[in-house]
Amino acid sequence: MARAFGDLFRRPFIVLLLLNLFLSTVTASLRSDDDVGLIAWLLLTAVMVYVQISTILAASDESPDPRGDPWIRAAFKAKCFWRFIAIEIFIFVVVALGLFLLVIGGLVAGAYIGLAEQALVIERKGIAQAVVRSYEVGTGARRTVGVIFGTLVLFPNVALPFAYTLGADESTLARLVVSAIAALLTMAGTIALTHAFLILAETNQTVPR
């Protein structure tokens, strides 16, 4: 995780981070009670997905190009947008069910399927294959993957809606600050999980199928 936070402030990740923070801030300031606001929110969210894919691709490169735009282009060329959305929804549903049963259930679910996005983007897996690949690669390191997922992915994305229920209204500065913090932590989580995926795949010497 320390390496991931260090990477955040190096190029190209700092470029992608600033773009992600900008998009998160603008998205958080939009009102979804009208058609224009909803359409703008959907478009900005789609761009944020491509930034996340770009981050995974950049983090999987040993010497990434310091510019941000080549990774954005690479994300579009990867042609995995809808599969990425599907795997995100799958992870959300499984983790939500785990949280509904018990908080520890969400952490356990993340420990098993937390590397699925990386498998989908880096190894061009299908949705089901990415889930299986996450299970295979994470063998022997469930606790590490679970801690990274819980700290940098689960916590900010659970804390964000919880903060709203406590009064961080969408028209206040508090909502923008919470959104920015969540975006920063989630991006660090994406980088950390990508590094973990590459290290574990090599350590376990698992062969992509």
Mean pLDDT calculated for residue range 68-83 = 90
Looking at residue 209, its pLDDT comes to 46
- Domains of the chain, by residue range, sit at 2-204
Tell me the backbone φ, ψ of residue 126, rounded to 5 degrees: -75, 175
Please choose, from the candidates 86, 110, 84, 82, the residue with its C-alpha nearest in 3D space to the C-alpha of residue 96.
110
Structural tokens at position 184: 């920063």
pLDDT exceeds cutoff 50 at 23: yes
- Count how many Cα atoms sit within 13 Å of the Cα of residue 98 in the half-sphere of its side chain: 21
As a whole number of angstroms, the distance between CA 156 and CA 110 comes to: 14
Mean pLDDT calculated for residue range 74-98 = 85
- Per-residue pLDDT tens digits for 103-157: 666 678 888 888 999 999 999 989 899 999 999 999 888 888 988 888 888 777 7
| Inter-axis angle of helices 155-165 and 173-204, nearest 10 | 160
Tell me the backbone φ, ψ of residue 85, rounded to 5 degrees: -60, -45
